Amino acid sequence: MIPVAPPVQSYVQNDVATIVYRIDTTQSDFWMQHTDVSIFWTRELQFRQLTESTRKAKAFEEGWDGYDAPAPNDASVARTLEVLSRVRDSKLSPYSVLPSADGGVGISFRGNANKRAVLELLNDGTSSYILFGKGYPIESSEFNSNTDLPRILQRLEEYL
């Protein structure tokens, strides 16, 4: 049988996603669950969760970090969603989206040999990246998220 509707996320348990397929309604109204998930669906689920985390960043209030960190504003959240959609088309796999202590949203990536990278999209419209090696920053720079993002994503792919 061939599924006629896109998969719908049911739940995630023990790092194994269960995807529910709607079977052709002319044959049956039965819903069938599959626990063997392809790389595509694992990545799809990952980006849905990252997108949801980004949207939830709007709920943070000033001082969310116990100090005086500004809450992410609507503009930084919107830019983060745009960047995530571009990252989705790359080879990169972010592992978290969290508010930034500088006011805005950060997207974190892991690589091999303790390499990490963070993209920050701040409330004031500033965008930057930081590359970490063995826990220490080794490179950082501001960039224009509208024009420079392809170059920055390429740099992160090369580094990680």
CA distance 138 to 68: 27
Three-state secondary structure call for residue 86: helix
Q: Residue 114 pLDDT > 80, yes or no?
A: yes
Per-residue pLDDT at 134 = 87
Per-residue pLDDT at 131 = 97
Q: Return the bridge partners of 130, or none.
A: 118, 140
Cα angle for residues 57, 114, 40 (degrees, 5° grid): 60
CA distance 104 to 1: 46
Better pLDDT: 109 or 28: 109
Per-residue pLDDT at 7 = 44
- pLDDT interval class at 123 (50, 70, 90): very high
Q: Residue 20 pLDDT > 80, yes or no?
A: no
CA distance 137 to 92: 19
Ranges 41-50, 95-104, 135-144: which has the least confidence? 41-50
CA distance 64 to 62: 6
Better pLDDT: 3 or 79: 79
Three-state secondary structure call for residue 87: helix
pTM across the whole model: 0.75
Q: Compute and round to an integer the Cα radius of gyration of the chain.
A: 18
Span 104-126, mean pLDDT? 95
The domain made up of 61-159 is a member of CATH 1.20.58: no
